Amino acid sequence: MTRVREHHRIVLIRHGETAWSTTRRHTGRTDIELGPDGRTSAATVADLVRGWDFALVLSSPLSRAWDTAHLAGLDPIRDEDLLEWDYGVYEGLSTEEIRTSIPEWSVWTHEVVGGESLDQVGARADRVIDRATSADGDVALVAHAHFLRILAARWLGLPPVHGRDFTLDTASMSVLGWERDTHVIQQWNVVRRPF
């Protein structure tokens, strides 16, 4: 990963709530729109990033992320590398549903049949980090929970599976930064709810 100035930060923004996120369904490449509460909470992200001067704003092209970026007052560029994990045959299913046929199944420990491996998602996260650290200033990334969790793990130099050690609420903001020459998490899972 490229070394950058200590003040250079990466702001992670998870999209607002959708019908599938409220029921905890694996929502990878299906383009589910924000629900009414998701649109309201996505707009609160504007308060979290107000006054921030981003050199670059990248967003997943899926509408739940793209719309969140706009509702937060950002002007993003689409980046396919920010797409959520391709869950293959598990798309649209909850972990509980999958466990009826595969006990103790987890996206972190089992093969994702017909989708991406953890290492493939980690490689995409590395490319995004390289692009972000090449920018001339702070960067905002608007994307999805599993992907951003894996990106945070990679920022810390951890294997992609350590994304399991983080959690992200919808319409949340997190900040990756530096302490001297060390990658750190400066803030994690900050939310501002209007209700």
pTM beyond 0.95, yes or no = no
84 is catalytic: yes
The pLDDT-based confidence of 3 (bands split at 50, 70, 90) is very low
Measured CA to CA, the distance from residue 106 to residue 178 in angstroms comes to 32
pLDDT in tens, 85-143: 999 999 889 899 999 999 999 999 999 999 999 999 999 999 999 999 999 999 999 99
> Does residue 7 surpass a pLDDT of 80?
no
Please name which of 132, 144, 118 lies closest in space to residue 176, comparing C-alpha atoms: 132
Q: Catalytic pick from 15, 26, 144, 146?
A: 15
The backbone torsions φ and ψ at residue 182, rounded to the nearest 5 degrees and listed phi first, read -105, 130
pLDDT in tens, 59-76: 999 999 999 999 999 999
In the DSSP assignment, the letter for residue 84 is P
Domains of the chain: 10-190 (3.40.50.1240)
CB burial readout 156-174, b (16+ within 10 A) else e: eeeebebbbebebebbbbb
State whether residue 19 is helix, strand or coil.
helix
Please name which of 131, 107, 140 lies closest in space to residue 121, comparing C-alpha atoms: 107
Q: Catalytic pick from 8, 26, 84, 162?
A: 84
110 is catalytic: no
pLDDT in tens, 8-52: 899 999 999 988 887 888 888 989 999 999 899 999 999 999 999
> Does residue 195 surpass a pLDDT of 60?
no
Measured CA to CA, the distance from residue 39 to residue 71 in angstroms comes to 7
Asked if 8 and 178 touch (Cβ cutoff 8 Å), the reply is yes
Measured CA to CA, the distance from residue 60 to residue 78 in angstroms comes to 6
